Amino acid sequence: MRTMYPEIEPYRTHRIAVSGGHTLYVEECGNPRGLPVVFLHGGPGAGLSPYHRRFFDPTRYRIVLFDQRGAGRSTPFADLTDNTTWHLVDDIEAIREHLEIERWVVFGGSWGSTLGLAYAQTHPERVLGLVLRGIFLGRPEEIRWYYEEGGASWILPEKWQRYASAIPPEERGNMLDAYWKRLTSDDETVRLNAAQAWGAWEGGGITLEESPETEASFAAPDVALSLARIEAHYFRNRVFLEEDQLLRHVDRLRHIPGTIVHGRYDIICPVKSACDLAAAWPEADLRIVLAGHAASEPAIVDVLVEATDRLADRYC
């Protein structure tokens, strides 16, 4: 089993101003002359973690990571102004141009897979390869599965009950709108309580094995506030995509080398989405492994590192 590369620190950081008053935190790691790769984090709104740098050989990759609008160290924190899928696609291009990179590998998981597909379909000429994990296509049925009383509530009933208990019974017919009402409340305590309940629910389903530490990290205020507000904003707007848009436009990227990695027992993003994408993109390498949703699970790490090593072998 392959493991992550050793911990590294950025050799350069940037603050890049974009539209809507947003400023993006961007970091570069690894080899400044290496194969460029951009890492797209999940959520939307989850932000970066140090381990995200470690899926790439630092001797062969120029690793570019950034906190998306409203997330992590980007400012203003948890802000929803001009915060849509297509603003984020434009941000990726702004970062590429700022760093004077002609073409790069795109690596994204969960929401990052959604954004990676949207970017590659918009700018296929800029993409050398795609490594996508925990596929989320932004379809209404995927959102209902986990955030309304869909299938996930049957798999994690005691955790669902905690998530639902933040909402009065008479409002539970539309959990997304009920949470949105609280996440945009003028009352700071109401906002925080709703965000932490949302974060705990998401963190509670992310790993195959129980991980109270992961659940607690998602419920921490500095993660939960941006994660819950931005996710609810995107999900209420159908992720700013047309119906089945990412599947309908797959032809734009079928010539790009691609790897699709998905946990067989992923509760947050069921494996059907990965299979649907692979059916539309038969040239991609579909790898279904014994894991849940988290990128840090050993079986997923193994295949992700194999995929990035393979691209480095191809281009370096």
Label residue 149 by pLDDT band (50, 70, 90). confident
Domain ranges of the chain: 12-138+241-315, 141-237
pLDDT at 150: 79
Mean pLDDT of 97-126: 98
The residue from 67, 79, 266, 302 that is catalytic is: 266
Q: pLDDT above 70 covers what percent of the chain?
A: 100
User: In the structure encoding, which two tokens stand for residue 84, read together?
Assistant: 């849509």
Give me the DSSP letters along the chain. Answer: ---PPPP---SEEEEEE-GGG-EEEEEEEE-TTSEEEEEE-STTTT---GGGGGGS-TTTEEEEEEPPTTSTTSBSTT--TT-SHHHHHHHHHHHHHHTT-S-EEEEEETHHHHHHHHHHHH-GGGEEEEEEES-----HHHHHHHHSSSTHHHHSHHHHHHHHTTS-GGGGGGHHHHHHHHHT-S-HHHHHHHHHHHHHHHHHTSSSS--HHHHHHHHSHHHHHHHHHHHHHHHHTGGG--TTHHHHTGGGTTTS-EEEEEETT-SSS-THHHHHHHHH-TTSEEEEES--S-TTSHHHHHHHHHHHHHHHHHH-
Active site residue 233: no
184: how many CB neighbours lie within 10 A of its CB?
14
Cα four-point dihedral sign 241, 206, 120, 30: positive
267 pLDDT higher than 90: yes
Mean pLDDT of 164-169: 96
Residues 6+ apart with CB under 8 A from 170: none
pLDDT at 241: 98
Distance CA 149, CA 173 (A): 8
Mean pLDDT of 242-262: 98
Mean pLDDT of 121-136: 98
Residues in the chain: 316
Q: pLDDT above 90 covers what percent of the chain?
A: 98
Mean pLDDT of 46-68: 98
53 pLDDT higher than 90: yes
The residue from 41, 52, 91, 110 that is catalytic is: 110
Smallest CA-to-CA distance from 152 within 233, 274, 270 is with 270
Residue 91 CB-density burial (10 A; 0-12 exposed, 13-18 middle, 19+ buried): buried
Mean pLDDT of 35-64: 98
176-217 pLDDT, tens digit each: 999 999 999 999 999 999 999 999 999 999 999 989 999 999
- Domain 12-138+241-315 bears CATH identifier 3.40.50.1820: yes
Active site residue 22: no
pLDDT at 110: 98
Average pLDDT, whole number, for the chain?
Answer: 97
The residue from 57, 153, 293, 296 that is catalytic is: 293
Active site residue 266: yes
